[in-house]
Chain A
Amino acid sequence: MSAGESMSYESKDKQRVFNKEFMPHIDAMYNFAYRLTLDEDDAKDLVQETYLKAFRFIKSFEEGTNAKAWLFRILKNSFINNYRKTSKQPNKVDYQEVESYYNSESVDEKITTDLRVETVQHMIGDEITNALNSLDIDFRTVIILCDLEGFTYEEMAKILDIPIGTVRSRLHRARNLLKEKLVNYATSMGYKDKRK
Chain B
Amino acid sequence: MEVEDKQKCFELLQLVIDGQATQQQTLELEQHLSDCENCRAEFELSQSIKEGLKSRLKRPSVPSELATSIQSKVLEIV
User: Does A48 contact B66, Cβ atoms closer than 8 Å?
Assistant: yes
Q: How far is the CB of A18 from chain B (nearest CB, A)?
A: 6
Q: Which residue of A lies closest to B58 (CB)?
A: A125
* Chain B interface residue bracket vs A: 35 or more
Chain A residues whose CB sits within 8 angstroms of the CB of B18 once the complex forms: 146, 152-153
Report the Cα distance A15→B63, complex, angstroms: 22
B56 touches A128 (CB 8 A): yes
Contact A112 B42 (CB under 8 A): yes
- Whether a CB of chain B sits under 8 angstroms from the CB of A26 is yes
A160 within 8 A of B: no
Cβ of B41 under 8 Å from chain A? yes
Chain A residue numbers with a CB within 8 Å of B49 are 120, 175, 178-179, 182
- Is A93 part of the contact surface with B, judged by Cβ < 8 Å? no
CB within 8 Å for A26 and B56 given contacts A52-B77, A121-B48: no
Is B59's CB under 8 angstroms from A31's CB?
yes
Nearest to B50 among chain A residues (CB) is: A147
Closest Cβ of chain A: how far from B47's Cβ, in Å? Answer: 8
The interface centre, meaning the residue of A44, A124, A147, A171 with most chain B CB atoms within 10 A of its CB, is: A147
Would you call A1 and B75 a contact (CB within 8 A)?
A: yes
Are B48's CB and A168's CB within 8 A? no
How many Å lie between the Cα of A43 and that of B62 in the bound state?
Answer: 10
Bound together, the chains give a CA A11 to CA B74 distance in angstroms of 10
Closest to A34 in B: B60
| Interface size band for A | 35 or more
A23 in the interface, Cβ–Cβ < 8 Å? yes
The A contact surface, by secondary structure, is helix
Neighbouring B residues of A30 by C-beta, 8 Å:
60, 62-63, 66
Cross-chain contact A52 with B3 (CB below 8 angstroms): no
Bound complex: CA A121 to CA B50 (Å): 11
Is B31 part of the contact surface with A, judged by Cβ < 8 Å? Answer: no
Could you list 28 examples of A-B contacts with CB < 8 Å?
A: A1-B78, A3-B75, A15-B78, A26-B62, A26-B66, A27-B59, A30-B66, A44-B63, A48-B66, A48-B73, A51-B70, A52-B70, A103-B3, A108-B10, A108-B42, A112-B38, A115-B45, A128-B52, A132-B53, A143-B53, A147-B50, A147-B54, A148-B57, A152-B18, A152-B20, A153-B20, A175-B46, A179-B45
